[in-house]
Structure 1
């Protein structure tokens, strides 16, 4: 393992993050809609050290919409959404079963079934 990988934090692996204000101003996504999507498990909201919530940018497309199939993958991976940081790291990490792409990259490319095939509940 190289030194950079050894010192990387989960936030480094998952980031960058989009703040709710940026989703509102950049894509017209109101906070209430973001709150409902989070509560419904459509997107990941990660608790940050400062008490705020961070939304990993990888989970949104260029229009500010959640990636296709993301909610289905999250259901397969972590139905209770009890390990959101672990889920985010998994989505942002290269996966050999996806030819080295991250699950998020594969979702962005429309390969929902391939990601679902490798998404298993992480216990």
Structure 2
């Protein structure tokens, strides 16, 4: 198989799987197509043409999951695609900025900003950086704009462990294996389920620390 065939075959496979947009976030080489439709692979960072040995290693990496390389799925890219989809869903609603939080609390935006950043230092509220600003996810808030009391012991281990804020938001709002398939923040409303959610959050925090 010549260079063009290998490059095109790998590119076509990723296009069919819908994983092209996840290459750059994963720190992997990316590609564009020239006027003849051939895939031109580039090194991450430098943009230099990807040499044949590196292209072969990339092909091996992306077909290393499963017993049949021809139909293997690059699990890491699939996970990134899922995270990107969930992020888009979360950004579509379910968060407040400082002004919105201040309005809910009946105070100013500046007062809300000061209060949540002091709380964040204690691991008592989840703040998510985005596009140079900060989002306050609403799942964690009660009607008065305060953090739900039952979530405080769930948030604390996750936030003090340094878990990525986006991953924390996703984990707390999506069905999770560690909570028996239930959405953690919803399960936490049940006093009988709360100990399970707290234990799951602690385990996730321990994993985050161990992976550093």
Tell me the TM-score normalized by structure 1: 0.76
Root-mean-square deviation over aligned CA pairs: 2.6
Higher relative CO (Cα under 8 Å, sequence separation at least 6) belongs to 1
Cα gap change, 1:90 to 1:62, in 2 (>3 Å) = same
Deviations 1:8-58 (A, max 9, x none): 142424752111111111222532212211222111111102x00001111
Identify the structure with the greater helix proportion: 2
Matched, 1:56 2:142: no
Alignment of 1:1-123 (within 5 A): 6=82, 8-13=85-90, 15-28=93-106, 30-31=111-112, 32-49=114-131, 51-110=132-191, 111-119=193-201, 120=203, 121=205, 122-123=207-208
Relative to the length of structure 2, the TM-score reads 0.48
Unaligned 5+ residue runs, structure 1?
A: none
Q: Which has the larger radius of gyration?
A: 2
Q: Which runs of 4+ in 1 moved over 3 A?
A: 96-100, 108-111
Question: Deviation string for 1:37-95 (max 9, x for gaps)?
Answer: 1222111111102x000011111122212122333223333423341111111111112
Instruction: State the number of aligned residues.
Output: 119
